[in-house]
Amino acid sequence: MATTERRTFLLEFEKPLAELEGRIQQIRDLATENGVDVSDQIHQLEARASQLRQEIFSSLSPYQRLQLARHPRRPSTLDYIQAIADEWMELHGDRRGNDDPALVGGIGRVGGIPVVILGHQKGRDTKDNVARNFGMASPGGYRKAMRLMEHANRFGMPIFTFIDTPGAWAGIEAEHQGQGEAIAYNLREMFRLDVPIVSTVIGEGGSGGALGIGVADRLLMLEHAVYTVATPEACAAILWKDAAKASQAAEALKITSWDLKNLGILDRLLPEPVGGAHSNPLKAAETLKEALLSTLEELSQLTSQQRREQRYQKFRRIGVFMELPA
């Protein structure tokens, strides 16, 4: 059952590895049925599988990393919260009549420290994705997020935000409810918060939908996550009138964690288990928890005024460019 489910979600570049692993399992099953010792052959094949896995995941293109960031089995915000929080209580509502399931949040303890955690939440299957609007938050979601962050600021609780969205919901109703204003308000207000803020891109960080909870003292990214001003498909449709050129757009947009690290936008790149976070969610969560706590310890050495100033300067530096003479 588990093998069938895994094959259902295989990405194209994962298939050679899956075929080899399937062959290893077949040999192991046949040897068990017939009482034959094939441990040496199994060991050789497993070594080859390990080498192949390393080769595949160390040379992914930007568009393949995007596919990995969108993987249906990739751990979500609630998965990470469950794994890293000692205690957790989800809070609901923006106090204006809305409770957006595409953006979740609440209070908890991580490493014994009281914190507010919030983030985008995608679904695990089609039905769940429709219910959560594929992680695309509405204005009510961003207002709920701001309410929780103001709560954190009032009670001196650090804020952890997890980014995983293709972008904010762009429907007519969202515009009618003030999507642009809700995100802009969050951008402005997050700069004034006194408490430490750590944002982590755990999957897909897209457009203003990501920035709406992404104004932070430190920006972390999982190795195979992406962060971009627009999805490669949208970029390709705009520039070339052809969404099929998304792979070319992904290359030009510099969306990977390595690109953003080189550009000075990313503060810390978090390695994932070989095969992606979905191949070993607990190990990925352990890496994330260690990074969050060590980053929080670093930020706690600063005064609130120093944090606000550094936060402001961090975002002032992003986007600075020079014009060279022709």
Q: Tell me: do 173 and 43 sit in the same domain.
A: no
Q: Return left, alpha or beta for 210; rule: phi > 0 is left, psi -120 to 50 is alpha, else beta.
A: alpha
Task: Look at residues 59, 79, 94 and tell me which one is the last residue of a structural domain.
Answer: 59
Residue that the structure tokens 């190795």 belong to: 223
Element (H, E) at 250: helix 246-253
The pLDDT tens digits of the residues spanning 149-175 come to 999 999 999 999 999 999 999 899 999
Could you tell me if residue 3 is inside a domain? no
Are residues 52 and 16 in contact, defined by beta-carbon separation less than 8 angstroms? yes
Q: Tell me: do 71 and 55 sit in the same domain.
A: no
Arithmetic mean of pLDDT, 274-286: 93
More confident residue, 319 or 229: 229
pLDDT-derived band at 4, boundaries 50, 70, 90: very low
Cα separation, 182 vs 274, whole angstroms: 38
The dihedral through the CA atoms of 301, 115, 71, 141 has a sign that is negative
Q: Tell me: do 150 and 270 sit in the same domain.
A: yes
More confident residue, 3 or 292: 292
pLDDT-derived band at 204, boundaries 50, 70, 90: very high
Largest CA distance in the chain: 75
pLDDT surpasses 90 at 211: yes
Residue 7, pLDDT score: 52
The pLDDT tens digits of the residues spanning 20-32 come to 777 878 877 777 7
